[in-house]
């Protein structure tokens, strides 16, 4: 994504905003959390599967690609979860989308250290990457059965 500078307002010039997409894959009231295996500073911290959107690639296509690469599953992408989260001093932005598994395939940890299906009550049982905090908060009500929302 290319953005222009709002001149004179003391804003940092930001020509290339890197977009990172994540998939909140929900199944039976649980979301799939993935523990990073690298780099060492964040290894063992938890995230949503996903990654950088390639130049010219649509966000949804990037998510579908990343879920195949990281988990060997095909997903259907749904609504956004939470807000855009600015990272890396505003140089990148994290956008998370709800997703569901197609074909009943079981995700495999091809690139992650571990995978876990978390209920709403288990969301705080793992240490999420810091940028994910507002997304996890927005996700919580989506994991509750409709009767208790």
Ligand X SMILES: Nc1nc2c([nH]c(=O)n2[C@H]2C[C@H](O)[C@@H](COP(=O)(O)OP(=O)(O)OP(=O)(O)O)O2)c(=O)[nH]1
Q: What is the C-alpha R_g of the chain?
A: 16
Q: Which stretch binds ligand X (CB under 6 A): 3-11, 25-33, 46-54, 75-83?
A: 46-54
Nearest distance in Å: CB 55, ligand X: 12
Kindly report the three-state secondary structure assignment for every residue of 75-134: EEEEEEEEEEEEEHHHCEEEEEEEEEECCCCCCCCCCCCEEEEECHHHHHHCCECHHHHH
Residues in the chain: 149
Task: Please say which residue, 82 or 101, places its beta carbon nearer to ligand X.
Answer: 82
- Residue 6 CB contacts under 8 Å (≥ 6 apart), including other chains: none
Task: Please say which residue, 6 or 38, places its beta carbon nearer to ligand X.
Answer: 38
Instruction: Give yes or no for residue 136 binding ligand X (CB under 6 A).
Output: no
Left, alpha or beta for 104 (phi > 0: left; psi -120 to 50: alpha)? left
Instruction: Give yes or no for residue 134 binding ligand X (CB under 6 A).
Output: no
Instruction: Give yes or no for residue 132 binding ligand X (CB under 6 A).
Output: yes
Binder to ligand X among 94, 98, 118, 136 (CB under 6 A)? 94
Instruction: Give yes or no for residue 47 binding ligand X (CB under 6 A).
Output: yes
Nearest distance in Å: CB 47, ligand X: 3
Instruction: Give yes or no for residue 91 binding ligand X (CB under 6 A).
Output: no
C-alpha dihedral sign at 134, 148, 24, 32: positive
Please give the residue ranges that form the binding site for ligand X (CB under 6 A). 20, 22, 47-48, 50-52, 87, 94, 129, 131-132
């Amino acid at each position: 994504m290319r953005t222009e500078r709002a001149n004179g307002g003391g804003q940092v010039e930001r020509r290339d905003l890197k977009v990172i997409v994540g998939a909140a894959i929900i199944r039976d009231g649980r979301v799939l959390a993935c523990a990073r295996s690298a780099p060492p500073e964040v290894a063992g911290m938890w995230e949503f599967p996903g990654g950088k959107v390639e130049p010219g690639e649509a966000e949804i296509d990037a998510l579908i690609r990343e879920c195949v690469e990281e988990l060997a599953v095909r997903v259907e992408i749904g609504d956004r979860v939470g807000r855009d989260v600015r990272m890396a001093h505003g140089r990148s932005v994290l956008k998370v989308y709800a997703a569901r598994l197609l074909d009943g395939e079981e995700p495999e940890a091809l690139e992650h250290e571990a995978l876990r299906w978390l209920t709403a009550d288990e969301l705080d049982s793992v240490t999420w990457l810091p940028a994910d905090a507002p997304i996890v908060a927005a996700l919580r009500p989506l994991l509750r059965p409709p009767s208790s929302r």
